[in-house]
Amino acid sequence: MFLKFAENFFCNKIEKNNFNFSKMAKDISGNDFDEKVLQNKKIVLVDFWAPWCGPCQSFLPIIDELAAEISDAEIFKINVDENSELAQKFGVMSIPAIKIFKNGKMVDEATGVQTKEKLIAMIDAQK
């Protein structure tokens, strides 16, 4: 009974909001970082996060919403527990940490939960 209620609730909410799950931020790792981020022709926003981090969990819906709404930048997530070498390489000391890349170079960054508007401004500043 509960599962049917949950299914109806979430399905109706998703249809109502037109949320596109295929456009959610994608998880990447050290194995595909160079290809997906450094070699990307678009501006790339990377969210360094961890599953145990409360602020990271509250920030993930903002990241996914941003990924669903913009088409001129790529949005990725990196779990720092599984990719500690990347976190260290890019100086991640606190999470969530946002890094903006353009033409293979990190060009902007922010730490802590950010508003969607702030993230859009960070991306737009690189155009």
Annotated catalytic sites, by residue? 53, 56
SS3 annotation, the chain: CHHHHHHHHHHHHHHHHCCCHHHCCEECCCCCHHHHHHCCCCEEEEEEECCCCHHHHHHHHHHHHHHHHCCCEEEEEEECCCCHHHHHHCCCCCCCEEEEEECCEEEEEEECCCCHHHHHHHHHCCC
